[in-house]
Amino acid sequence: MRTWPFYAALAIVLSTGSLAPAQLGQPKPAEDVRLDKQLTQRWQVGVRINAVGGPCAGLRGSIPVPAEWPEQQVRVVNEEVSPLVSRVTYRDLGGVRQMQFSIPQLPPGELATALVTFEITRSSVLPPENTAQYQIPKNLPVAIRFDLGISPAIECRHPAIRAKAKELVADKESAWKQVEAIYDWVRDNVKHQDGPLKGAAASLREGSGSRDDLTCLFIALCRASGVPARTVFVVDNVYAEFYLQDEAGQGSWFPCQVAGTREFGGMSDHRPILQKGDHLRVPDEHKDPQRFVAEFLTGKGGRGGRPQVEFVRKLLPAN
């Protein structure tokens, strides 16, 4: 028997670009999250697997699925699971929700399917009206402390990152102005150009980077200044969120688009949120923390068999 690990580089079908995930649970909107216009869409997410050239066995995998955030509501409207799929479960990883599936035996030429249709209502977010009240957090919830540390491609403790952060916030009178100074400096001084991810430190050194790189650099500079920040993955885009507390100690996350149209403290984007966070551990799939949690499949093939996988993420036509 032969064993293959399969990751996102397999045959992935995306209707409008690469998708990833979002977090689960039923979070209550923070007091200062000002929701605005809504857009409701239906997305089909799941997997189709065909055994080619012979049987396959012990297939198991996962795919990120939409989940609830203060600015995003999700409900399941349809499920299609074929008899060959023995188990479909869900788990939350503190920033992304996965649908896990298991296929014990897949005969040659047979197709196993697990597809779920989600109705996603996404709200745009308005900036807060009173920004002077916000402070850099002193006592952080445990879950947010990860958003002050090192993540893949976000080297917030690099000497050059720390020195630049100290320089940028030195004469700013409020926490909001400090974060805005970091934001404007990255936009004004680091050229946005397409290319592979190289990380925050390299983008600072070279003065250029992709949309992901500029987002990583902004986040690294925030973290180096004591401000929690994280990556938000949506369809065909990434942006950042930073975390501040008001005078009563109430914390809120505020979005900002580092590359492209200037949006600081609010977000007009209605594309589905796929993941929040950039340092996620994925048990049974990856040993190292993941910046982006991708699709996953592993299993065995025998007598020339191999699984042909199609991960499906498709925007459905409006009714």
Continuous segment of H or E residues that includes residue 47: strand 34-52
Cα separation, 49 vs 13, whole angstroms: 13
Of the two residues 113 and 300, the one the predictor is more confident about is 113
Domains of the chain: 2-124+284-315 (no CATH), 128-265 (3.10.620.30)
Arithmetic mean of pLDDT, 159-186: 97
Query: What is the reported pTM?
Result: 0.88
Six-digit token string for 31: 């007091």
The string of pLDDT tens digits covering residues 54-109 is 999 999 999 999 889 999 999 999 999 999 999 899 999 999 999 999 999 999 99
CB-CB neighbours of 128 under 10 Å: 20
Three-state DSSP state, 83: coil
What is the tens place of the pLDDT at every residue in 190-207? Answer: 999 999 999 999 999 999
Give the tens place of pLDDT for each residue, 252-307. Answer: 999 999 999 999 999 999 999 999 999 999 999 999 999 999 999 998 766 678 99
Q: What is the pLDDT of residues 21-48, one digit of tens each?
A: 333 333 444 446 899 999 999 999 999 9
Tens digits of residue pLDDT in 138-172 = 889 888 999 999 999 999 999 999 999 999 999 99
Dihedral of alpha carbons 41, 118, 253, 29, sign:
positive
Nearest to 177 by CA among 264, 259, 295: 264
String of DSSP letters for the chain: -EEEEE-TTSSEEESSS-------S-PPPPTT-EEEEEEEEEEEEEEEEEEESS-EEEEEEEEEE---BTTEEEEEEEEEE-TT--EEEEEE-SS-EEEEEEEEEE-TT-EEEEEEEEEEEEEEEEPPS--TT-B--SS--HHHHGGGS-BTTB-TTSHHHHHHHHHHHTT-SSHHHHHHHHHHHHHHHSEE-------HHHHHHHTEE-HHHHHHHHHHHHHHTT--EEEEEETTEEEEEEEEE-TTS-EEEEEEESSSS-EES-B---SPEEEE-S-B--TTT-SS-BSS---EEEEEE-TT-EEEEEEEEEEPPP-
- Percentage above 90 pLDDT, the chain: 80
Nearest-5° angle of CA 47, CA 50, CA 55? 130
Q: Which amino acid is at 225?
A: S
